[in-house]
Amino acid sequence: MNTTYSFQIYNSTSLLPLEWNSLAANNIFLTREYLEVLENSSPVNMICHFIGIFEEEKLVGIVLTQFLFAEKLESFGERDRCLKTSVRNFALKNFASHVLFVGNNMLTGQNAFAFDQNIKEAKAVKTLHKAINQLKKDLKANGKKVHITSIKDFTAKEIEPLQAEFKNNYTFSIQPNMIFKINENWKTEQDYVDALSKKYRDQYKRARKKSNGIEKQQMSLSDIRKYEDVIYELYFHVAKNAPFNTFFLARNHFSFFKEIMKENFLLYGYFLDEKLIGFNTLIKNGEVMDTYFLGYDESVQREKMLYLNMLYDMIAYSIKKGFSAIVFARTALEIKSSVGAKPVKMYGLITHSNALINHNIARFFNYLEPKTEWQERNPFK
């Protein structure tokens, strides 16, 4: 029997089919709740769309896309001038100010889509391709021509069916996703420390000693609201020093996230002399703990080894709560490697609407994405 698949594009979470979450069971980042957070506190220069793939009447696939554009960033203050520069650099770097991501540009890993387990994969991916083309047409009709399309963050195995369908796309590899696997015999932070070799046990002790005087607390929704501006400044300090950024979070992002996701979203504040000097965030995603954004006061971070202590805290919490792994994502590869995270190579597909640029996109891309030199560490005995 010949199954036919169709698709539907939604521009608001309020329109999603009721059964949407049944397909997002294994990934919190595709649930209606998370998508609602994204939609309501997304960066100023981002529009999200959601795609449902249907077999007859039945929902068999769910997809997230993010459209990023630079022209929203004209007349802003200092913070947004910084945003404007980074987006403009990104636009120049890619000869494009209109980028359509299939997936989530704010996270690392396969957060683009989820399919029903009985789906015919090749056919579903073909339907996804049609949906993306339709979305581009819709955007163009609204005066927004998509220059670059990128389907992102897959392992080597996951990307194969996509490569087979999206033939004119260039496969690129970016900074790896740093994954920390939790040994099932570890029950406490001490078990982790005991597994470290002497050099890294000494690093751990030194860091812990440096953090004397810092108070750490899990923050409730009202705490987050109370400190929202400080939290934002700390986040922004770290974000604007990143190599290049395509977005900055909305100011209400963290409180809105906590309000909707409740216990699945944790924000820890770090206080010194009753002043908030840093924070980190965690998201419970089934068996896996995802690290999210963090921020800190640079002057304190150096002296107190705050960033390293945050990594140890995340590890300790995840061991205690019985998680199987922590997704530490990209950036700061070496320090994450020094606490025991391992790199997993990630791939994406990219295509440019201009045929000439597209023909040479590999050369452009490699020139634009300089290879990060870093030394992998192995801290365990």
**Chain segment 58-115, per-residue pLDDT in tens:** 999 999 999 998 765 543 445 556 766 666 666 555 556 789 999 999 999 999 999 9
pLDDT value at residue 80: 59
Report whether 311 contacts 319 (CB < 8 A): no
Structural tokens at position 320: 């205690």
Task: Give CA–CA dist 107/27, Å, rounded.
Answer: 12
pLDDT value at residue 363: 79
Lowest mean pLDDT: which of 37-51, 247-261, 282-296, 359-373?
A: 359-373
Nearest to 67 by CA among 121, 3, 5, 143: 143
Nearest to 266 by CA among 285, 252, 283, 288: 283
pLDDT band for 3, please (50, 70, 90 cuts). confident
Q: Which amino acid is at 142?
A: N
pLDDT band for 175, please (50, 70, 90 cuts). confident
Q: What is the pTM of this model?
A: 0.92
Q: What is the mean pLDDT of residues 281-302?
A: 96
Indicate the DSSP class of residue 15.
G
pLDDT band for 317, please (50, 70, 90 cuts). very high
Report whether 377 contacts 337 (CB < 8 A): yes
pLDDT value at residue 88: 60
Q: What is the mean pLDDT of residues 329-352?
A: 94
The 10 Å Cβ neighbour count of residue 283 is: 19
Task: Find tokens 């530490």 and name the residue.
Answer: 328
Lowest mean pLDDT: which of 11-20, 49-58, 72-81, 256-265?
A: 72-81
pLDDT value at residue 76: 42
pLDDT value at residue 1: 64
Nearest to 246 by CA among 368, 356, 130: 368
pLDDT at 5 over 60: yes
pLDDT value at residue 60: 98
H-assigned helices in the chain: 32-40, 78-93, 121-141, 156-165, 189-195, 198-210, 221-226, 228-240, 253-261, 298-304, 306-320, 333-338, 355-359, 361-368
Q: What is the mean pLDDT of residues 272-298?
A: 97
pLDDT band for 179, please (50, 70, 90 cuts). very high
pLDDT at 307 over 60: yes
